Amino acid sequence: MTDIVAFKNVIKRYPGGKIALDGVSLHLRRGEMAFLTGHSGAGKSTLMKLIGLIERPTRGQVIINGTNLANVRRRQIPRYRQRLGLIFQNYNLLFDRTVFDNVALPLVIRGLGHADIARRVRAALDTVGLLTHERKFPVTLSGGEQQRVGIARAVVDRPYLILADEPTGNLDPALSADIMRLFTRLNEAGTSIMIATHAIDLVERLGYRRIVLDHGHLEDG
């Protein structure tokens, strides 16, 4: 089983009638990194939401790491999501907690011991280059640093798949390039990654696979 993500003829129709994905079949192989691009409204976020079980497909199958998501019941969703690294444009950090506590959150929820948490949080902060910032509060960090805290939190529990929706949407080109390099390194360390982005120039420079959506249809992939 080499696919980490498999979509089989997936249709997503929102209440109200909008068809956001119209018969999408795609595969992301274990260890692969790919960029999801396409015009605004093409269906990128919808595709990500189906993987994150934030939405369910109207028809078709979504199979993640060998699990058909149709078989994941509502009460099992938090546990399912624990092994995904979800990264968003607006970082979703807790501003009343330190960098360390933000990154530690998934491990605290999972009930790990203090020593284990400290070791893993520091390893994740080291990966994103923020080891010296662990006692700071997010508000004192730049946008790029805040996004790196979000990435550290997403990778701290060793996800098998990182899903990033517009991770550089609020960053200038230099910081965006930094964040993309960070994803490249995480991928080289073995994590499968899918990144939805409008930053076509960056994607082209990096030379990874592009999955292109156009009005809910797949162009390539």
Ligand X SMILES: Nc1ncnc2c1ncn2[C@@H]1O[C@H](COP(=O)(O)OP(=O)(O)OP(=O)(O)O)[C@@H](O)[C@H]1O
Q: At what angle do helices 143-155 and 173-188 cross, to 10 degrees?
A: 20
Residues within window 68-127 making contact with ligand X, judged by CB under 6 A? none
Residue 14 engages ligand X in binding (rule: CB under 6 A): yes
Based on CB atoms, which residue is closest to ligand X, 14 or 95? Answer: 14
DSSP one-letter string for 148-183: HHHHHHHHTT--SEEEEESTTTTS-HHHHHHHHHHH
Give the per-residue contact string, 22-61, with ligand X (x = CB under 6 A; - = no).
Answer: ----------------x-xxxxxxx---------------
The C-alpha atoms of residue 214 and residue 212 are separated, in whole angstroms, by 7
Based on CB atoms, which residue is closest to ligand X, 2 or 40? Answer: 40
Based on CB atoms, which residue is closest to ligand X, 25 or 132? Answer: 25
Q: How far is the CB of 101 from ligand X (least distance, A)?
A: 30
Based on CB atoms, which residue is closest to ligand X, 43 or 106? Answer: 43
CA 119 remoteness from chain centre: 23
Q: How far is the CB of 180 from ligand X (least distance, A)?
A: 17
In contact, 120 and 156? CB cutoff 8 Å: yes
Gap between the terminal Cα atoms of the chain: 18
Q: How far is the CB of 150 from ligand X (least distance, A)?
A: 18
In contact, 61 and 8? CB cutoff 8 Å: yes
Contact residues: ligand X, CB under 6 A: 14, 16, 18, 20, 38, 40-46
